[in-house]
Amino acid sequence: MTVRTLRVGLIGYPVEHSLSPVMQQAAFDALGIPARYELWPTLPAELAERVAGLRRPDALGANVTVPHKTQVLALVDEVSPLARRAGAVNTIVNRAGRLYGDNTDVPGFLAPLKARGHDFAQTDAVILGAGGAARAVAVALAGAGCRGVLVANRTPERGAALARELGAPLTAAALDARLAGPLARAALLVNATAIGWNGEALPLDPALLDSLPPGSLVYDLTYRRTPLLRAAEARGLATLDGFAMLVQQGVAAFRLWTGQEPPAELMRAAAQAARAQHS
Rounded to an integer, what distance in angstroms lies between the CA atom of residue 182 and that of residue 185?
A: 5
Residues 168 and 211: their CA atoms lie apart, in Å, by 24
Residue 74 DSSP one-character state: G
Give the bridge partners for 146, in sequence order. Answer: none
State how far the Cα of 163 lies from the Cα of 28, in Å rounded to an integer.
40
Catalytic residue positions, numbered: 69
Distance CA 100, CA 92 (A): 6
Amino acid (one-letter) located at 230: R
8-state DSSP, 239: E
| Rounded Cα gap, residues 274 and 278, in angstroms | 6
189 C-beta neighbours (distance < 10 Å), count: 29
Report helix angle 264-278 to 243-258, nearest 10: 130
Crossing angle of the two packed helices 20-30 and 243-258, in degrees rounded to 10: 40
Q: Given strand 78-79, what is the order of strands in its sheet?
A: 35-41, 6-12, 59-64, 91-95, 98-102, 78-79
